[in-house]
Every structure is written in C-alpha cells, then in structure tokens.
C-alpha cells in the first residue's frame, strides 16, 4: 500500500496537472471579471436600447460554456484541457427568447397571467364546476 502512495506522489503527470489546474484557476478568475463586464454591458444596453446585444449574448453563452469546461477539468471529470490549451468554445448563434411586458422580479408577463387565468376557467367549465358552485361551497350552502 505504501508503495502505491509513493508511486502516486512521485508521478510526474499528477504534478503537471496541478500546474495546469493553477493556470485554469487564474483563467477562471479572469473569466469571472470578463463575465462581470458583460453583465454590466448587457444591462446598460438593455436599459438604453430595450434589448440585449446579440453578439454579447453569444459571447456570454460561450463564456458560460468556458466556465463549465474549466470546472469539469478541475474536478477531474475530464482530462481535456480548456482554452488556452484547446480552442475557445464557440456555440452556434441562437436568438435569446425575449418576453414582452414582463415583470423581471416575478418572472411572469401580464399575458402569461391572463393565459393562466383563462386556462383555469376553461378547466372549471370542462369539469362542470362554476364560480357560483365554488362560492356556494365556500359559504356552506347547497349547490343550485
């Protein structure tokens, strides 16, 4: 058993991986700063133009993928080294879904609330339950 430990501790590949992990840790910190700049830029762009910048959306998705690649490498889930030892992640361009008239704090839009209410009314009508039945039941009165 102690021979295995000595062999593992003296193995060059594990120490080389430590060097790569330190480099990737620094890269992660730089990427965090870049992500903060992108976040502020996208907020200001949305504030003044009403929508986020498409190129920054793509860059943000690629940056998120880069965070994932670094984390997967540093947790020993893969031996594949991320950028700068491999190419930069380049996800295909996709338009981010934009929800009109939404409340950013609740995560719902006015139209979505109306649609949910309409769905509830439709389900009640399908089951034969009406609002009057619900009110009568709540008041303890028999249904008409």
pLDDT tens readout for residues 125-135: 555 555 555 55
Judge if 110 and 42 occupy the same domain: no
Query: Which of these, 65, 84, 96, lies nearest to 20 by C-alpha position?
Result: 84
Judge if 3 and 54 occupy the same domain: yes
The three-state secondary structure class of 11 is coil
Tell me whether residue 30 is in a domain. yes
pLDDT, tens only, 54-66: 999 999 999 999 9
Q: Please give the backbone phi and psi of residue 93, each rounded to the nearest 5 degrees, phi first.
A: -70, 130
Q: Please give the backbone phi and psi of residue 103, each rounded to the nearest 5 degrees, phi first.
A: -95, 110
Judge if 131 and 78 occupy the same domain: no
CA separation, residue 29 to residues 25, 89, 114, 139 (Å): 6, 17, 44, 61
Judge if 86 and 107 occupy the same domain: no
Judge if 84 and 113 occupy the same domain: no
pTM above 0.85, yes or no: no
Tell me whether residue 95 is in a domain. no
Judge if 8 and 43 occupy the same domain: yes
Judge if 114 and 76 occupy the same domain: no
* Tally of domains within the chain: 2
Q: Which residue range(s) make up the domain with 11?
A: 1-90
CB within 8 Å of 53: residues ≥ 6 apart? 41, 42, 45
pLDDT at 15: 92
Question: Stretch 20-43: mean pLDDT, rounded?
Answer: 96
pLDDT, tens only, 69-113: 999 999 999 999 999 888 899 876 555 555 555 555 555 544 445
**CA 129 to mean position of chain CA atoms:** 40
Tell me whether residue 96 is in a domain. no
Judge if 29 and 2 occupy the same domain: yes
For residue 11 the two structure tokens come to: 């193995």
Judge if 76 and 134 occupy the same domain: no
pLDDT at 28: 96
């Amino acid at each position: 058993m102690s021979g295995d430990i000595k062999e593992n501790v003296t193995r060059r590949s594990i120490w080389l991986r430590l060097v790569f992990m330190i480099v990737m840790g620094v890269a992660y910190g730089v990427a965090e700063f870049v992500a903060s700049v992108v976040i502020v830029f996208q907020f200001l762009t949305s504030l003044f133009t009403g929508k986020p910048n498409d190129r920054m959306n793509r860059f943000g998705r690629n940056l998120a993928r880069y965070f994932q690649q670094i984390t997967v490498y540093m947790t020993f889930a893969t031996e594949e080294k991320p950028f700068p030892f491999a190419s930069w992640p380049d996800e295909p361009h996709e338009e981010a879904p934009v929800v009109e008239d939404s409340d950013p704090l609740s995560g719902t839009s006015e139209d979505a609330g109306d649609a949910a209410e309409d769905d509830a009314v439709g389900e009640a009508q399908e089951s034969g339950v009406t609002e009057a039945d619900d009110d009568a039941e709540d008041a303890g009165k028999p249904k008409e």
